[in-house]
Amino acid sequence: MAMTSNKMVLNFVEDMKAMACPDSVIWIDGGEEQLDALRAEACTTGEILRLNDAQLPGCYYHRSAVDDVARVEDRTYICCKHKEDAGPTNNWMAPAEAYKMAGDIFKGAMSGRTMYVIPFSMGAIGSPFAKVGIEITDSIYVVLSMAIMTRVGADVLGMLGDSNDFVRGMHSKCQLDKEKRYILHFPEDNAIWSCNSGYGGNVLLGKKCFALRIASYQGRNENWMAEHMLILGIENPKGETKYVAAAFPSACGKTNLAMLIPPEGYRKQGYKVWTLGDDIAWIRMGEDGGLWAVNPEAGFFGVAPGTNRNSNPNALETTTSGTIFTNVVLKKDKTVWWEGMDKNPPEGALDWKGNPWDPASGETGANPNSRFTAPARNCPCIAPNWEDPVGVPLSAIIFGGRRARTAPLVYQSRDWQHGVFVGAIMASETTAAAAGAVGVVRRDPMAMLPFCGYNMGDYWQHWLNMGEKITKQPKIFNVNWFRLDEEGHFIWPGFGDNFRVLDWIIRRCDGAADAKETPIGFVPLPEDIDISGIDYMISPGRAFDGEALKDILSVDKSLWLEDVASIKEFFAGFGDKLPPEIAGELAELEKKLSV
C-alpha cells in the first residue's frame, strides 16, 4: 500500500516499478514490526545472520560479495548536461546516455524480487534544514541499514507533503556484476541510480551519494555547504562547549576523533568531548553571522579494524546493540572480531568471506574496509543537542590527511582565504575505503575529491564566497596524525592524545596560545602542546618525548617545494575555473618557501 498521495512520489515509484518489474512492492513505514519481519526474512535467506543475543542484542552479521567491498570511484559518475560542470576530478556521462545505459541494466532486474520503497530524511524530521529522499531497493540489507543511518518511514512522507523537493534514488543489486556496476548522480534532476553493488557507500544512497554529491550541488545553489566532516563539541572545565568540524579523507580518523576521550590529565580538570557526527556536516550561515553545522545522518557507518577498547571505547560501546556488522570475522559463539580489536585472534572462526579462518595463515580475518552500522543514539558521548534542528556554531574547521612526511602535526591558516587554500592543497595516502591501490599519495581537496557533485574549481569559489558572506569566520587548521619515522612507525600517539592538539586549536580560537609563523602558516611552539603524561613508544627503543614533538612540528621547505610542484600540476587541470585567489595563495606559498 502506498503511504502517500504525493503524485510525484507515486509517479517515480510507478516508473521504477515499470522498469525493474518486481513481483511486489513494499513501502517502509519505519515501524519496528515491519523491520522485525524483514530481519526475520533476511535471516531465512542467509542475507544476514542474527548474532549472539546475550552479548550483542539486536545485532546482525552480513557479508557482501568478495568483489564488492568498497566504493568504486572509477565507476561513479556525475551526469550533468555540460562536462565542464562536473570538472576534471569527476567521471562524467551525459544524462541521456547514463539513463539509457542504466535503464537497460535495471530492465527486469527485480523480477522474482520484492521492491522496497524507503522514504528517508537527511536531518531530524521537522528541521527546516532536513531534506527528503526516496530510495528504491531490492535489498533488505539496504532497508535495515538505511533505517539505522537515516530517519525512515511514514513521518518523512508527512514532512514532504505534496512537495516535489525530494531525491529520487534507485538501487538494485541486479546480478552484482562488477562489470556493470555504476553509481550515477544526476544533480540537475535530483536523482541517483546505483546498480550491481551491495556495498554501503555505493548503495546507502542517503550517505555519500545524496548527503555529499547531490547536496554539495544543492548547497552551492542555495548558499550552504555539504562537507565530508565530523562534528564535535569540546566542553571545558567551566562547562562551556565549543564546536569544531573536521574533514579527513575516508579511513583517516573522523569517527575516532569525533568520539575521543581526552587524556587523564585533561579529564581530571573537567574537559570532555561530545560527538555530533562522524562523517558528514551540512553547514549554513546562522543569524549571528557565523557558520552552523548539523549532522544529516542518524547512525555511524564506521571502519571496524583498529577499533578497540583503547583506541575508541565509545565506538565499541556504540556497536553493542542494534548494529549490523559487515565483512568482519564471525566467531564460534556468534560474536564478532577484527584485526586490532585485541591480541587474541579467535580459533574456529569464519573469515569475512565465510571460510574457516586460520589466524596463522597471514590472511586478515576481517576485510580492511569491514564496517559497523550503528545507531548514533547508542553512543555514550553523543551530544545532548546532536539533533538540534539549527545545529551548532563552529569555532574552527580542521582539515587533515595521512602524510608520512610533509605536513606537520598541526598548523593554522592566516585567514579564511588562506584556509580555503589549505583545504584545496590537501593530500593523503589512499586507504581501503575505496577500491584500488592503498598507500598512494593523492590530492584530496577538503577530503571531497570523491564526493563533490560539481566542478571543484567552482566548489573552491563557493568556499571563498561563503567566507565573504559570513561575519564570524571559523578559524581554519590542518592536522596530520600520521607522520612516520625512518622505520615507518607513527611518531605521534594519536587517538585520545589528539585532544592535546584540539586544546591548542581552541586556545588559538580564544587568542590564548602563541604560535610561530612559517611559510605554510602558524605552527605551535613545542611548549604550546601539552605532552605531559604521554606514555607512548614510537618503536621498541624510542619513547615519545619533546624531541619527537619538535620533529613532527617541523616544516621541511624542500619537501614542501616538491608538494608545490604537485599542486601546480593538479591546479592546472582546472583551467580558468581555478579561483585567482587560490592561484595567488599558491604563488605566495612558493615565494615564502623559496627565501
| CB 195, min distance to ligand SPV, A | 16
Site string for ligand GTP, 497-516 (x = CB under 6 A): -x------------------
Under rule CB under 6 A, residue 231 binds ligand SPV: no
Block residue for cell numbers 587474541: 344
- What are the backbone dihedrals phi and psi of residue 290, each rounded to the nearest 5 degrees, phi first? -105, -175
Which listed option, Mn ion, ligand SPV, ligand GTP, none, makes contact with residue 61 (CB within 5 to 8 Å by class)?
A: none
Query: Which span (80-88, 199-207, 350-358, 512-520) binds ligand SPV, by CB under 6 A?
Result: 199-207
Under rule CB under 6 A, residue 86 binds ligand SPV: no
| CB 468, min distance to ligand GTP, A | 29
Site string for ligand SPV, 413-452 (x = CB under 6 A): --------------------x-------------------
Reply yes or no on whether 452 is catalytic: no
In this structure, the strands spanning 91-92 and 356-357 are unpaired
Which listed option, Mn ion, ligand GTP, ligand SPV, none, makes contact with residue 495 (CB within 5 to 8 Å by class)?
A: ligand GTP
Identified catalytic residue from 174, 252, 452, 509: 252
Residue nearest to ligand SPV (CB): 201
Name which position in 119, 123, 153, 200 contacts ligand SPV (CB under 6 A): 200
- Containing H/E element for 217? helix 215-222
| CB 302, min distance to ligand GTP, A | 5
428 vs 473, which CB is nearer to Mn ion?
Answer: 428
Show contacts with Mn ion in window 270-329 (CB under 5 A).
279
Query: Which span (9-17, 22-30, 449-457, 494-502) binds ligand GTP, by CB under 6 A?
Result: 494-502
Residue 365 CB contacts under 8 Å (≥ 6 apart), including other chains: 328, 329, 337, 338, 339, 345, 346, 349, 351, 352, 357, 359
Tell me how far apart the terminal alpha carbons of the chain are, to the nearest angstrom: 71
From start to end of 454-536, where are the E strands? Answer: 475-479, 516-518, 521-523
Number of DSSP helices (H) and strands (E) in the chain, helices first: 17, 33
- Using H for helix, E for strand and C for coil, what is the string for 416-454? HHHHHHHHHCCEEECCCCECCCCCCEEECHHHCCCCCCC
Cα-trace Rg, the chain: 23
Give the separation between CA 82 and CA 296, rounded to whole angstroms. Answer: 29
Under rule CB under 6 A, residue 250 binds ligand GTP: yes
Whether 241 contacts 232, CB under 8 Å: no
Give the separation between CA 386 and CA 89, rounded to whole angstroms. Answer: 33
Give the active site residues.
Answer: 252
What are the residues binding ligand SPV (CB under 6 A)?
A: 71, 200-201, 207-208, 250, 279, 301, 433
What are the residues binding ligand GTP (CB under 6 A)?
A: 248, 250-256, 278-279, 302-303, 305-306, 311, 433, 481-482, 490, 494-495, 498
